[in-house]
């Protein structure tokens, strides 16, 4: 299996090379030259998550030795998930919530970012790369912590995470700034997530800067979903969710389902698209947005327009106006038209928008939920089912209810539940009609009582952990910040 850039199909590399690089030199994203096929789902229904992951990841990354894939999967989904199945499928109010937040950082990003460090390390060893890898990542809240935790103290790897200073929840911020590990670096930027993401992409695309890094003994890579090594492991849980429905006899073999995904950067729903293209019986993919409804508008009108104010919402991981993985989706559905992709991405960069008419609205249903609808969904689900949703999951559930009302399509549905309610206590508590305490950890206790569970240790420990990362920078200073961190270690400015 080879991988090529969405902007130049002649730029072919192995999966190991694609994972190490993260992003193509031409600014494009690596995609597989073909999508492998799964069949006979009935025969897979008794597979454990690890067994399924080894099968699917191995199909995409077939240049890795089998023992390396096995080691990556066993290491990722063992102790870090309490040695239990890492994903739960929970039925409430007639829908199936695919709970993806039972990992070390309580967000769906763990599902891939516990695997990626193993894949990265294996690739570096197999390719004999002597330079240290700098995993450079912009985060809207969850990817940063998951990357920091996943790559912590991995030999030959440094991790640099940029996050919007005022664009993440307080608990997300604490998770990052208290991160341990001699190779971890965290910087708050004075800007929003799109500024951070653009800055990271600019760094990857700066030939002279990358040459300077290489001369200093470093090469860049990424942990965002722009890295194919981060995207592919996410395919697994959609197949696993379907197989669980089969195993529990909620559906028959071959029966189609719908999948709802709350998304900002389009990576998580793209993984569902890959699962569908592999043969998973999926009818509609439902793209759920918050008030930053750039994707909703795109799927409704064909116009992608980032020239609007970015709104800070209660679902910060979706507060994004430039959805990077949309490029991969458009590449696939356009028949791999690299010229069209290059043209659209140039227009987006230079003019702030592009128009795309070459897709059917049947491909993706896009809709959004505002803050009132999110609160209403959290409240009704808690009162009616005793089930607590985080704001991102509530966005998805709200959009699903709109889809159901508009289309009458009541096929069995899986909703990607992407984060733990513990990460967003203020919104969850206020939505349930309770008074939000000023102290974050008092709020977390209220969430634990509502869920009837103990507070996870990775949350409770944050109250007493020292802040290790205090650096901030302007969005124009990101390149210098990376150099300073690599040359001098952590900053306590």
Stretch 153-158: mean pLDDT: 92
Give the pLDDT mean for 466-485.
95
Q: How confident is the model at residue 491 (pLDDT cuts 50, 70, 90)?
A: very low
What integer is the mean pLDDT of 170-193?
Answer: 96
* Cα separations in angstroms, 31 against 35, 83, 241, 332: 9, 32, 24, 9
Instruction: Indicate whether 175 pLDDT > 80.
Output: yes
Backbone angles phi, psi at 138, to 5 degrees: -100, 140
CA dihedral (45, 328, 1, 362) positive or negative: positive
Asked if 86 and 103 count as a contact pair (C-beta separation under 8 A), the reply is: yes
Report the candidate in 390, 392, 395, 386 with the shortest Cα–Cα distance to residue 450. 386
Share of the chain above pLDDT 70, in %: 98
Q: State pTM to two decimals.
A: 0.94
The pLDDT confidence band at residue 363, using thresholds 50, 70 and 90, is confident
- pLDDT single digits (tens) 15-71: 999 999 999 999 999 999 999 999 889 999 999 999 999 999 999 999 999 999 999
pLDDT at residue 489 tops 70: no
Name the percent of the chain lying above pLDDT 90.
Answer: 94
Q: How many CB atoms lie within 10 A of CB 467?
A: 13
Instruction: Kindly state the average pLDDT of the residues 421-430.
Output: 97
Question: Residue 189's pLDDT is what?
Answer: 96
Rounded Cα distance, 352 and 348, in Å:
4
pLDDT-derived band at 358, boundaries 50, 70, 90: low
Residue 36 burial class via C-beta count within 10 angstroms: exposed 0-12, middle 13-18, buried 19 and up: middle
Residue 493 has pLDDT above 90, yes or no: no
Domains of the chain: 1-124+225-457 (3.40.50.1100)
CA dist 493 and 488 (Å) reads: 12
């Amino acid at each position: 299996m080879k991988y090529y850039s969405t902007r130049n199909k002649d730029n072919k590399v192995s999966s190991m090379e694609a994972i190490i690089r993260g992003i193509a030199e031409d600014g494009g994203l690596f995609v597989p030259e073909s999508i492998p096929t799964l069949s006979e789902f009935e025969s897979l229904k008794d597979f454990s998550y690890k067994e399924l992951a080894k099968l699917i990841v191995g199909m995409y990354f077939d240049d890795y030795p089998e023992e390396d894939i096995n080691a990556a999967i066993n290491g990722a989904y063992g102790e870090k998930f309490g040695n239990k199945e890492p994903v739960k499928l929970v039925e409430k109010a007639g829908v199936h919530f695919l709970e993806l937040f039972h990992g070390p950082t309580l967000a769906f990003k763990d599902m891939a970012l516990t695997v990626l460090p193993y894949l990265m390390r294996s690739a570096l060893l197999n390719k004999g790369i002597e330079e240290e890898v700098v995993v450079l990542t912009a985060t809207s809240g969850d990817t940063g912590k998951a990357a920091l935790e996943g790559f912590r103290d991995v030999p030959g790897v440094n991790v640099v995470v940029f996050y919007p200073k005022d664009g993440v929840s307080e608990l997300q911020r604490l998770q990052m700034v208290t991160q341990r590990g001699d190779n971890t670096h965290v910087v708050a930027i004075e800007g929003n997530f799109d500024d951070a993401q653009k800055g990271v992409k600019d760094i990857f695309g700066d030939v002279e800067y990358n040459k300077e890094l290489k001369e200093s003994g470093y090469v860049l890579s990424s942990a965002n979903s722009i890295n194919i090594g981060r995207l592919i492991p996410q395919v697994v849980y959609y197949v696993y969710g379907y197989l669980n429905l089969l195993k529990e006899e909620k559906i028959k073999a071959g029966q189609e389902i719908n999948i709802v995904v709350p998304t900002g950067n389009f990576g998580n729903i793209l993984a569902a698209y890959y699962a569908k293209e592999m043969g998973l019986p999926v009818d509609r993919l439902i793209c759920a947005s918050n008030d930053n409804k750039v994707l909703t508008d795109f799927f409704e009108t064909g116009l992608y327009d980032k020239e609007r104010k970015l709104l800070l919402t209660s679902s910060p991981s979706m507060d994004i106006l430039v959805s990077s993985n949309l490029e991969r989706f458009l590449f696939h559905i356009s028949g791999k038209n690299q010229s069209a992709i290059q043209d659209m991405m140039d227009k987006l960069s230079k003019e702030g928008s592009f128009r795309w008419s070459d897709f059917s609205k049947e491909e993706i249903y896009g809709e959004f939920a505002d803050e009132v609808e999110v609160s209403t969904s959290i409240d009704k689900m808690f009162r009616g089912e005793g089930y607590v949703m985080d704001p991102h999951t509530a966005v998805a559930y709200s959009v699903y209810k709109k889809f159901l009302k508009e289309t009458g399509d009541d096929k069995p549905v899986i909703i990607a539940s992407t984060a733990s309610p513990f990460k967003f206590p203020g919104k969850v508590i206020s939505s349930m009609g309770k008074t939000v305490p000023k102290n974050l950890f008092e709020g977390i206790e209220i969430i634990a009582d509502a869920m009837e569970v103990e507070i996870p240790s990775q949350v409770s420990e944050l109250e007493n952990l020292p802040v290790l990362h205090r650096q901030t920078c302007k969005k124009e200073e990101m390149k210098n910040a990376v150099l300073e961190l690599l040359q001098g270690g952590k900053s306590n400015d």
